Structure 1
Amino acid sequence: MKNRSIIAYMLVLVCMPAKATAAIENDVMVTGADTIVKRMVDLDELVVVSQPKENRRLRCQPVAGSMFTEKEMTGLGISDLSSLSAYIPSFSMPAYGSRLTSSMYIRGIGSRSGSPAVGVYYDGIPLISKSAVNSHFYQTDRVDVLRGPQGTLYGINAEGGLVRVYSKNPLNYQGTDIRAGLGTGLYSNAEVAHYHRPNDRLAFSTAVFYSGQRGFFRNTLLDGRADLTNEAGGKARLIWLPSQRLKIDLTADYQYVNQNGFAYGQYDISTGKFDEPSTNIMNGYRRNLLNTGLNVSYDMGTLRLVSVTSWQYLHDLMQMDQDYLPEDYLRLEQREHMNAIVQELTLDGNVGNKWRHVSGVFFSHQWLHTEAPVFFGEAMNKKILGSMGIPPVVSSALTITDNRVPGKFETPVTNIGIFHESNIDITPRLMATLGLRYDYQRVGIDYDTYSHFTLENAGMPQMHIGASAHSYTSLMQNKTTKSYNQLLPKVALTYRMNDAGSNVYATVSKGFRAGGYNLQMFSDIFQSELRSKGKEMMVLMNGDMSVEHDAEDYSRIDNTISYEPETSINYEVGAHLNLFGGRVNADFSAFCMRINDQQLSVMADRYGYGRMMVNAGRSRSLGAEVAFRGNAFGGRMTWAATYSWVQSTFRRYTDSVTVATDKGLATEKRDYRGNHVPFVPQHNFSIMADWRMDISQNGLLRSMVLGVDLCGNGKTYWDVDNQYSQKAYATLGAHVMLDFGSVNVNLWGRNLTDTKYNTFLVNSAIDGVSRSFAQRGNPLRFGVDVSLHI
């Protein structure tokens, strides 16, 4: 609890001098009598969490990382990974409009769909589904973000980095927390949590929350809020110590979200004018998410065996007007029903304090059933009718109705990993890290989908053709699998410069992201097939038409819907420095990543009616990151600053696109060498400072903290052509935290300058006119949060 009293005064990425019962000797935590600490200490000294795969503090490892405590996240208004990303170098997780879209980019690695590029762990449990990682933070103790490939210890989809989220531990924290908040946009938040430790061997916690907002953007066609959100959930945790060696940790976390989403409004790039959304259906997302985990560890002295078992469940529904226009062109529904099991065993230990090692095996299997019907509206039906090759005198009497592409997909994924990492002290100051992981993944798809519409003829007496209605059907049913094998090595050297903990390091590591299948491509395949029929469609004038597919067709389809794995090699050098007697922590890193078969999410305006993953040949990502944190004026002022520069460009990427010419449609070659990889900010920065004023030790108001923060991104391109971009922008925030002992009040403001910026932009020409649609960032907001600890 004394460490907790220290944490209560830690604000904005720094630790202030205070009483402590822990000290660090040679990177290992030891306890001793209370002393006054006259140095800057690392966050992970104070918030101690169990990490079976690591036996050194984060800043003593050859990795670039950032850490945040609950107090820091409260002051900055951080409630999820998207808001956290603004304060981490080279990390971007834009708010694309719903909890479903959880795209994360670290050092130029990431994508909007397909396999995730950043791994996410909650209390030691890896989240399997990319649809599950964007969830609400509450009763969170600490969040770590590790940048660069972490595949050796954490598997294939940690190519860009790793996020670790830790809940409060009832063994170390007891009592009841009650929180409530209100703000502009009818923001509201409520939490109730209880932590109890009946004896030294048993502890448990329960917590529930609600969070919601009316929103800031209105759908002008439907006269409703386009970003209305309601979410709620609860979690429980039980920790039992049957003996001094055995620990059992059981967790369960359920969250429900129901939100209007994807508030994409038409955006004029030349003037910066943003129109409110105007879609003919209300876009939205609804999700039920349950993550459970059983963590069992057994201490055998020099060795420790840890077992992590998890069952994860997700059931969701996404509805989207894919043309974003008032006219009814195209809409998509996507229902996912996912069950996943995870089992991991790790064995770690020390040999004479000079060899620290960890080995393990990993297994996961995901059952994912997806229904993704696409519906074509009246506006699209008229467009399709005009492209069927039917003479105008005939087509003028025709109407397409009931045009849809239903689809049912089973996409099981199995992953097996075997890994080992050793940290060997070559000398008292030089440490070598050697790691290797073998990963096997099997991905499959079993699809049952078809294209259907009815061609209605009102009758053409002049051609002796009477009224009729005939249907068109093209059925696709097939099952296929792919398997991938990969070795993920890691080699690093770390040199400890002094006894204060400063070190420099160099790392070479390999990253890997799995391949898979594009589910949304089938509507595009069907429409391409339809256009290729030309005059064959005249059959519909006299009867029904059914399209058959042979083995050669299915081979081409399987090649079209699949995309290959992405691999990368990361070269990195860095330093973790404790300066000016420990009053300043400084972290530096520079990296060069070479990416092969980079996975890109290509927008609908390029390939027609669906979104697909493609492999973009080769790209390169160069960058540098700096992070400072410190205190001044006897610890009354705490501050932090970060900056990163990332240049992620294509080194080899060519494509063929269809363009309109005077003679009709034509295929044109494009070469994107030298273009910037889309969705990756070229710069990001943050500056934060808090000033604490001690008022009274025993009075009503104990202390007051005045805080300010500024964060922003550099230029971000939205497309591979680099025609559309978001210019550099910054947002300003401030807060006043009042400490009344057991009650704390936080008055806050976000985006105080009401900066106008876009978090996402897509270009569409579905009606023949090129338009841009953008998701606007949240405007100026104010609010208050009150917390009570009993």
Structure 2
Amino acid sequence: MRHILTTLILLSVMSGAKGAESPTNVTYAPADTSATPLGEVSVTAIKHSSSLMRQPVTVTTINQRQIERFNVSGMKGVSEIAPNFYMPDYGSRMTSSIYVRGIGTRIDQPAVGLNIDNIPYLNKNSYDFDMLDVERIEVLRGPQSTLYGRNTIAGLINVYTLSPLSYQGLRFMAEGSLPGAYRAGMGVYHKLAPRLGMSINGYASHTHGYFRNLHNGKHADGTTDFSGRWRTVWRPTDRLSIENVLSAGHSKQSGYPYAYVETGDINYNDTCFYRRTSVTDGLTVRWIGPHFSIASITGLQYLKDNMTLDQDFLPDSYFTLTQRQYDRSVTQDIVIRGNAGNYSWLAGVFGFYKHNRMTAPVTFKEDGIDRLILKNINSKLPEGMELRWNDDEFILGNDFRTPTKGIAVYHRSTLDLGKWTLSASLRFDYEQTALSYHSNVNTSATMYRMMGQAGMIPLLTQEIAIDDYGKLKKSFRELLPNVSVTYNMKNSAVFLSVAKGFKAGGFNTQMFSNILQSKMMAVAGHGEEADVDQYVSYKPETSWNYELGGHFSCDQGRVYSTFSAFFIDVRDQQVTVFPEGDGTGRMMANAGRTRSLGAELTLRYTPSARWRFDLAYGYTNATFRHFFDGHDDLSGKRVPYAPSNTLFLSAAYRMPVRSSMVEAISFCPTLRGTGSIYWDEMNIYRQPFYAELGASIRLEHSRYSLDLWGKNLTDTKFDVFRYESIGNNFFQRGKPLCAGITLRVHIDNI
């Protein structure tokens, strides 16, 4: 109730601000002069070009000035600003879970796609990055599989960086915040010729961390990042453009701030860290003719990372994991567009190849051997018999190679009938994924028997040597239709769309340690081997999305609003579960059927050049319709990890100042709300709705700006993640109150 009252009070303040008009004798720019009116923003430069007001898609666009005003440093900062979009901030930069309208995933392939300057990123491990000189971010919600294919069953994120042909000069930013975080970046934008531009950006950041590991007294979440970008844009003629973007980054983090529920403490003894190095190059060539255009988009990506962690997250010595990945991919998209009168069309071919090599050895240590293996075996032995392990620790070795390839053809036809616009799209998608695995273990155990006064004497030593190879392969074929009808008014549009979404199946590589453990127990004469194919394979996920939405603008553009109501029927939804018992991994499982329904509303109100108000609200009710997990019928339970509500409110006021040092002062309070969130399929654990209050004060000048800002000013306590492992519960707290200062300098036309 307290959060609802806070929201109502802020809304009443916002509605009462309309009377604050600017003095007639003062001339100044509105608060967002850098932004194109939202209704006119093109969704993408290649596959959509007409006004957003005429597009049958629900999208939130965040321009450069809003990114700075809300202090959005990465994709996790977009949460709540886009309704029903949630990217929780927990774990490491490898953790890039995104949930949109109740659909998302925590491991393997994402449910939301990411394009940066039109280049698709296939590995979600690279989704969490710090952004510098981003021109705009577009968040498209609902399945985008027909045009964009892979990993877009829930939506798509488009990120566009600043072009050297649209801006020339030097941009610099530096930021410091408490409790101990620093960022700095610089970009140089220059025209080498009237039609040739080049830019070079560099960025660095460091965060001491917010939480400490009681075992060693060090921060459990410190981070250091470096990145760079080199962009070249050449337009040799009015019809031809060639663009290349090369980016690279390195990130290192100290660990994971997971706390034990029983004590509330972060306290683990083994080393934890995450390291990531990534390189991406994208080449876009586009030719625009009088009746049709053709574009070629080529992407090359390389990612190398190392996740080392204490898997039990306790001061005991159970087991540790070191997972190294070497991921390489190439993508090629060819898009042809044409029009003839009131008919327009688009056709394309997309292909990709992705190869991932992973090594993931799990080291069983003393407590893990005693409590997870020997305790289980010895409880079933006759009295006087006891099994003892001969090694203090042993390694479950795992080596995987996962080549994945695919090709797709797609087409969209659009007929403009004045007030009515009809559109139909179809995509044929083929994907093949394979898994080559090598698992091994080499250890031994000895059986002892009590022999009176002689005590325990050895009877038999069992050598446990397993060297297991295998290959698995799966292919997926899918037709993905999308139809829509749009009714266009003068400054508004209403659309109805039906679209099919698709996400390919794959293999649970994280479960091979459990499989190897079961084989080891079988060799020792206890238990049965797990069926590898059945244990590690999961099926594709498909959805049907039914949506009614609209875009409205009135009062000469001072009011702009979007709305949507949706119903999503999902079959075989891929959900991340933790295996029961003493397993060490996570696995992807298929829920038989789920459904998600909800609504979204955004509202932008600009009563005068001084004031701007924004509201974004999303509601989702996502439940299992048919899901039996092998033990319980979960029908009717809420889908875990996806929030039921997202809320964002902001009020911006810009006051001109007659000073040579400062030209204007801006004030911007914000409110972000999320929840409730269930943490398990049984809906036992839940994070209730919570709200975070933020605020910023900006001093503006034509050449620089200085922001004083704060986040979570009420120091709200909430959890961003919770899970269960080997019978123990762990959670991560949300970040506490923090405040900082950001300086931005831009020197134009150097």
Q: TM-score scaled to structure 1, two decimals?
A: 0.87
Structure-2 residue corresponding to 1:331: 320
Give the counterpart letter for 1:574 in structure 2: G
Q: Which amino acid aligns with 1:524?
A: N
In 2, distance between residues paired with 1:511 and 1:652? 19
Q: Is the contact between residue 39 and residue 583 of structure 1 (CA under 8 Å) also seen in structure 2?
A: no
Q: Give the Å deviation of 1:409.
A: 0.2
Counterpart secondary structure, 1:381: helix
Distance 1:513 1:519 in 2: 18
Report the equivalent of 1:66. Answer: 60
What does the per-residue CA deviation read over 1:67-95, in whole Å, with 9 as the maximum and x for residues that have no partner?
00121111111111111112111111111
Aligned residue among 489, 500, 512 for 1:522: 512
Tell me which residue corresponds to 2:228: 234
CA deviation profile, 1:663-691 (whole Å, cap 9, x unmatched): xxxxxx31000000000111111100110
Pick one of 436, 455, 460 that aligns with 1:446: 436
| Aligned partner letter, 1:161 | G
Deviation digits for residues 442-493 of structure 1, max 9, x if unmatched? 0000000123333267997737845996531223211121100001100000
Percent same amino acid at aligned positions?
Answer: 35
Asked whether the 8 Å contact 1:749–1:780 carries over to 2, the reply is: yes
Please say which of residues 131-140 and 672-681 is displaced more in the overlay.
131-140
Report the Cα offset of residue 156 of structure 1: 2.9
8 Å Cα contact 1:715-1:727 kept in structure 2: yes
Amino acid at match of 1:785: T
- Structure 2: which amino acid aligns with 1:213? T
Aligned to 2:470: 478
User: Counterpart in 1 of 2:11?
Assistant: none
1:159-178 equivalences under 5 Å are: 159-178=153-172
SS at match of 1:328: coil
* Kept in 2: contact 1:387–1:531 (CA 8 A): no
Residue 742 of structure 1 corresponds to 703
Cross-structure match for 1:344: 333
Alignment partner of 1:779 is 2:736: yes
Would you say 1:377 and 2:365 are equivalent positions? Answer: yes
Residue identity opposite 1:585 in structure 2 = Y
In structure 1, what is the Cα distance between the partners aligned to 2:720 and 2:223? 18
Q: Counterparts of 1:534 and 1:234 in 2: how far apart (Å)?
A: 53
Judge which range, 468-477 or 670-679, deviates more. Answer: 468-477
CA shift, 1:740, in A, is 2.5
**Quick one: distance in 1 between partners of 2:582 and 2:214?**
29
User: 2:554 matched to 1:593?
Assistant: no
How far did 1:38 drift? 14
* Aligned partner (choices 397, 414, 418) of residue 428 of structure 1: 418
Q: What residue identity is the alignment partner of 2:606?
A: N
Who is 1:219 aligned against?
213
Worse-superposed segment, 481-490 or 128-137: 128-137
- Partner secondary structure for residue 474 of structure 2: strand
Cα distance in 2 for partners of 1:37, 1:654 equals 53
What is the CA–CA distance in structure 1 between the aligned matches of 2:440 and 2:31, rounded to whole Å?
69
| Paired position in structure 1 for 2:653 | 691
- Name the structure 2 match of 1:649: 623
Q: CA RMSD in A?
A: 2.6
Match for 2:404 among 413, 417, 424? 413
Q: Which runs of 5+ in 2 are unaligned?
A: 1-13, 15-20, 23-28
Matched, 1:294 2:254: no
Q: Tell me the amino acid that sits aligned with residue 369 of structure 1.
A: R
Pairs aligned (count)? 718
Bigger drift between 395-404 and 307-316 goes to 395-404
Q: 1:674 to 1:420 in 2, by over 3 A?
A: same
**In 2: Cα distance, 1:202 partner to 1:480 partner:** 49
Whether the aligned pair in 1 keeps the contact of 2:385 and 2:448 (CA below 8 Å) is: no
Contact 1:222/1:281 (CA < 8 Å) preserved in 2?
no
1:370 is matched by which residue type in structure 2? Answer: M
Tell me the distance in 2 between the aligned counterparts of 1:536 and 1:772. Answer: 28
SS of the aligned residue for 1:406 comes to: strand
Specify the alignment match of 2:259 in structure 1: 265
Amino acid at match of 2:699: L
Letter in 1 for 2:710: G
Secondary structure, aligned partner of 1:635 = coil
Classify the secondary structure of the residue corresponding to 1:480.
strand
> C-alpha distance in 1, partners of 2:680/2:37?
39
Which amino acid in 1 is paired with 2:412? E
Deviations 1:542-587 (A, max 9, x none): xxxxx9x9xxx7xx31121110000000000011011333211111
Matches within 5 A, 1:119-130: 119-130=113-124
Shift of residue 246, structure 1, vs aligned partner: 1.5
- Comparing 753-762 with 74-83, greater Cα deviation is found at 74-83
Matched, 1:512 2:502: yes
C-alpha deviation, 1:55, in angstroms: 2.0
Please tell me whether the aligned partners of residues 448 and 457 of structure 2 are also in contact (alpha carbons under 8 angstroms). no
1:270-285 aligned within 5 A: 275-285=264-274
Distance between the aligned counterparts of 1:676 and 1:607, measured in 2? 26
CA shift for structure 1 position 39: 13
Name the structure 1 match of 2:612. 638
Aligned AA for 1:641? L
Tell me, in whole angstroms, the C-alpha distance in 1 between the residues paired with 2:333 and 2:594. Answer: 33
Asked if 1:402 corresponds to 2:413, the answer is: no
Distance 1:630 1:411 in 2: 50
Q: Distance in 2 between matches of 1:457 and 1:396?
A: 4
Residue 181 (structure 1) shift: 0.5
Matched-pair contact (CA < 8 Å) for 2:285–2:295: yes
- Secondary structure (helix, strand or coil) at the match of 1:169 reads coil
- Which residue among 542, 558, 571 is the counterpart of 1:567? 542
Deviation of the 1:196 alpha carbon: 0.3
Aligned counterparts of 1:310 and 1:398: Cα–Cα separation in 2: 51
- Is the Cα contact below 8 Å between 1:348 and 1:357 reproduced in 2? yes
2:17 is matched with none
CA distance in 2, matches of 1:514, 1:46: 34
SS at match of 1:582: coil
Inter-partner Cα distance in structure 1 for 2:689 and 2:111 = 25
Structure-2 separation of matches of 1:575 and 1:168: 29
Higher mean alpha-carbon deviation, 357-366 vs 126-135, is at 126-135
1:368 is matched with 356
Stretches of structure 1 lacking an aligned partner (at least 5 in a row) = 1-11, 19-34, 269-273, 538-546, 657-668
One-letter code aligned to 1:195: Y
- Cross-structure match for 1:23: none
